[in-house]
Amino acid sequence: MSMINYASREINCKLVYYGPGLGGKTTNLEFVYNKVAPGSRGKMISLATETERTLFFDFLPVDLGTIRGFKVKFHLYTVPGQVYYNASRKLILKGVDGVVFVADSQLERMEANIEAMQNLYDNMTQHGYDLMRIPFAIQYNKRDLPNAAPIAELQAALNPGWSVEDPARQRLTPDPDHPGEYLVWQQDGAWYERAPHFEAVAATGEGVFDTLKAISKAVVKTLG
């Protein structure tokens, strides 16, 4: 989880972009890196696999202020999309503070999305993390493609809602980004919660910073 550097007065937080291969994780990070002021970002590290790259860089957002006099530095990572790189996926998730699942909206990629989501749950569980207890957001990427699945279909498959057992969390919570929808709701006497979701076209940057801002603010909230 977050690490405090007293010498530099920084709180270091780790954000991991997870999802199926070639779904847009790398494109998200490249867009953010190119838009962040050079003076507030570190060097981008790229580890190439046969079909895609695992990226990492850190940056200091200028708009989040400080927490008890400490600046918040975010370290952004992608994971390899292919299942046979699972050891790398698991290693990158260690010490994570927030997760963004980047789903490929194309209809023919639904099975790959579901497989990657299940893999995320399995790896988080092995680390002892509860995905519903840490900042987590889903980005539905490639919304500009003609074969993009309807959001309702993607939500049903990847973000249907999970049972809320903790009474403290059992309160109606509107989704601030989707009027008329809820992140926590009651149905047939039971309470459910789903992750916030965002639509994106990472190749053009649409939705990229909306996703990043949401997960960053959620992480900062846990530090307070």
- pLDDT value of position 4: 87
102 and 178 within one domain: no
Instruction: Let me know whether 172 and 202 are in one domain.
Output: no
| Residue-number span of the structural domain to which 190 is assigned | 162-194
**% of the chain residues with pLDDT over 90:** 78
Q: Are strands 182-187 and 173-174 parallel, antiparallel or unpaired?
A: antiparallel
Q: Which tens digits make up the pLDDT trace of 206-217?
A: 999 999 999 999
Mean pLDDT check: name the lowest of 33-37, 44-48, 171-175, 188-192: 44-48
Rounded Cα gap, residues 152 and 131, in angstroms: 21
Positions of E strands within the chain? 3-5, 10-18, 45-48, 53-59, 66-67, 70-78, 98-104, 136-141, 162-163, 173-174, 182-187, 190-193, 197-199
pLDDT at residue 51, as a whole number: 66
> CA nearest 32: which of 8, 50, 56, 12?
56
Question: Does pTM top 0.75 for this prediction?
Answer: yes
Say whether both 103 and 113 belong to one domain. Answer: yes
Total tally of structural domains belonging to the chain: 2
Q: Is the pLDDT of residue 73 over 80?
A: yes
CATH, residue 28: 3.40.50.300
Positive/negative CA dihedral, 96, 73, 40, 216:
positive
The better pLDDT of the pair 198, 7 is held by 198
DSSP secondary structure, 198-209, as one string: EE-BTTTTBTHH
Q: Could you tell me if 71 and 18 lie in one domain?
A: yes
Q: What is the pLDDT of residues 39-72, one digit of tens each?
A: 999 999 998 767 667 889 998 886 777 788 899 9
Q: Which helix (H) or strand (E) holds 39?
A: none
- C-beta separation of 73 from 11 below 8 A: yes
- Res 52: pLDDT: 67
pLDDT at 3: 86
